[in-house]
Structure 1
Amino acid sequence: MKLHAIEAGYFKLDGGAMFGVVPKSIWNKNNPADENNLCNWATRCLLVEEQNRLILIDTGLGDKQDENFFKHYYRNGSDSLSSSLRKIGFHEKDITDVILTHLHFDHVGGSVIRNGNKLEPTFKNAIYWSNKKHWNWAIKPNAREKASFLKENILPLTENGQLKFIEEKDGISFSENIKIRFAYGHTEAMMLPQITFNEKTILYMADLIPSIGHIPIPYVMSYDVFPMKTMDEKTRILEEATKNEYVLFLEHDPKNECCTLKNTEKGIRLDKTFRLSEI
């Protein structure tokens, strides 16, 4: 079994939206904003080589949207999903499974490409995995999340029979070394893959904890649909992760791929940061 961090590029979001009620004078120290109050964020995916399967977790922004869309998000950097796969010797056709933690555009955008006037799945030989509750939530979006659930990222996945659902059961087994956890504060039924690797537990944090700057319990994004639920979920999972020495894989942190946690007088805080390849 092998794991690879897949850098799919960077984009910018409003710093205040990313940190909710936390004052800029605090979050700006570690996540400095530009003149437009925007902070840069990674779209970091995870590739798992497990036996005869090549499992990709999330797919980043993609590049099929028009200029009008990207002018709001300032896509930047030289990395892309395709180029990062090729750096480690793989091609889109090699992917057997794509686990989509949730269907917001910065997590699912790379799942679909534009081929002329047609939209089609990027990974021709893969099964795409969501769950029925989140899928139904996304295809009939509420007004708060409507701008994040784009039909062109979602509906083409149902063509050719490539979409399947994971049972909504916390801790359900996906493969020999991957279990799926569920969280409901950021959006309905977001999936957090939990991976056993080299006698360690790696938890893919998706948007529950997007960066090391979001470890303190009150540091909750304004994008979260149910922020109080996010705080409860963070409390429970961070306590579990600290007690059992989990490695957290960070999807949006612009600098850090992974971290561990420790107990302090101020509560659970960052312990160490490191690259996935160092595990």
Structure 2
Amino acid sequence: MKLYPIQCGNFKLDGGAMFGVVPKSLWQKTNPADEKNLIEMGMRSLLIEDGKKLILIDCGLGQKQDEKFFGHYSLYGDDSLEKNLSRYGFVKDDITDVFLTHLHFDHCGGAIEWNDDRTGYRPAFRNAQFWTNENHWQWATEPNPREKASFLKENIFPMQESGQLNFVPLPTTGNYGFAPDLKMDIIFVDGHTEKQMLPVIQYQEKTIVFAADLIPTAGHVPLVYVMGYDTRPLLTMEEKEKFLKQCVDNEYLLFLEHDAHHELASVKMTEKGVKLDDTFSFNEVFGY
């Protein structure tokens, strides 16, 4: 098995929204804002090569939205899913499975693209199966008013119409149907959105947790640094406290999906609770 970090692009979001009730004087120390109060964000996927399987965890915004939509998110840089897959010798048609932590547009938008005449949509990964869970699917297809703008129909329903949609059973450990030999578990969390899935992967004698939107950047490690986007922020804090203790006890490395500058992070216990220990690149830890 081999893992590859895949940067799908960069965008910006309002720093206040990303840190909720935490004052700017605190969060800007780790996530500095520009003159519009926007902070830099990454869209980092994780590619798992395991035998004949090539599994992609999340897939960024995609390219099918209009200029007005993308204008809200201040896209910058030249990273793309296709470009960074090619760095490792892969193309989208090689992907066998796309595992979606949740169905917000910045995590699943790249799964669906326009068809050739732009009259409809098709899977961007023609040979892949898409994986979510039934509870989250229902939440996303019957959205509450708070999250409606994050669950875009054009990202979600074409997966089902393609016949490539699958549900991970709840609860589950070990075998998920798509990779019976893969050493991976799933942590389910409900504070950000219903049944968000955090993959836990054993790799080269280390354990990596794809932290998704529970801990989107290294700056979000402190317990009360919770996004304003979360549907149940108090629940997020409970889940985060439990999760961070697991990370300390088991020496987990956090894979940071939305951190524009750091791929991996470690945490440590202090007198004031769990804090960020250090950040790393994949190259520093795994030699590539």
Give the TM-score range, shorter chain.
over 0.9
SS in 1 for 2:149: coil
115-124 or 102-111, which moves further after superposition?
115-124
Q: State the match for 2:137 in structure 1.
A: 135
Alignment map for 1:152-167 (pairs within 5 Å):
152-167=154-169
Structure 2 residues not aligned, in runs of 5+: none
Tell me the amino acid that sits aligned with residue 31 of structure 2.
N
Residues 170 and 181 from structure 1, CA distance in 2 versus in 1: closer, same or farther, beyond 3 angstroms?
farther
| Matched residue, 1:214 | 220
Aligned length: 279
Residue 252 of structure 2, aligned match among 236, 246, 249: 246
Q: Over residues 198-227 of structure 1, what are the superposed CA-to-partner deviations in whole Å (9 max), with x where a residue is unaligned?
A: 111110000000011000110000000000
The 1-side partners of 2:282 and 2:57 are apart by: 14
- Provide, for residues 82-134 of structure 1, a one-character-per-residue CA deviation record: whole Å limited to 9, x for no partner: 11111110011100000000000000010011122221110000000000000
Structure 1 residue 276, shift from structure 2 partner? 2.1
List structure 1 segments (4+ residues) > 6 angstroms apart after TM superposition.
none
Contact 2:174 2:183 in 1 (8 A): no
> What letter matches 1:138 in structure 2?
A
Letter in 2 for 1:234: K
Of 182, 207, 225, 1:201 maps to: 207
Q: Given the two structures, how large is their TM-score scaled by the length of structure 2?
A: 0.95
Q: Distance in 2 between matches of 1:65 and 1:205?
A: 26
SS of 1:242's equivalent in the other structure is: helix
Matched, 1:146 2:148: yes
**In 2, are the aligned partners of 1:173 and 1:180 still within 8 Å (CA)?**
no
Q: How far, CA to CA, are the matches of 1:210 and 1:113 in structure 2?
A: 25
Spell out the pairing of 1:81-96 with structure 2 (5 A cutoff): 81-96=81-96
Task: Name the SS for the 1:147 alignment partner.
Answer: helix
Q: Which runs of 5+ in 1 are unaligned?
A: none
Separation in 1, partners of 2:17, 2:173: 30
Answer yes or no: is the 8 Å Cα contact 1:32–1:39 preserved in 2.
yes
- CA RMSD across the alignment: 1.0
SS of match in other structure, 1:210: coil
Contact conserved, 2:267 with 2:276, CA < 8 A, in 1? yes
Structure 2 CA distance for partners of 1:185 and 1:5, relative to 1, 3 Å: same
- Using the TM superposition, give the Cα deviation of residue 172 of structure 1 relative to its aligned residue in structure 2, in angstroms: 4.8
* Matching of residues 1-279 of structure 1 within 5 Å: 1-115=1-115, 116-169=118-171, 171-174=173-176, 175=179, 176-277=182-283, 278-279=285-286
- What is the TM-score of this pair, normalised by structure 1? 0.98
CA distance in 2, matches of 1:160, 1:36: 40
Q: Distance in 2 between matches of 1:193 and 1:101?
A: 8
- C-alpha distance in 2 between matches for 1:26 and 1:269: 14
The alpha-carbon deviation at position 170 of structure 1 amounts to 5.0
Cα distance, 1:264 vs structure 2: 1.2
In 1: Cα distance, 2:139 partner to 2:22 partner: 28
Superposition deviation, residue 159 in structure 1? 2.1
Give the partner amino acid of 1:74.
S
Which amino acid in the other structure matches residue 69 of structure 2? F
Q: Provide the secondary structure at the position in 2 that maps to 1:217.
A: coil
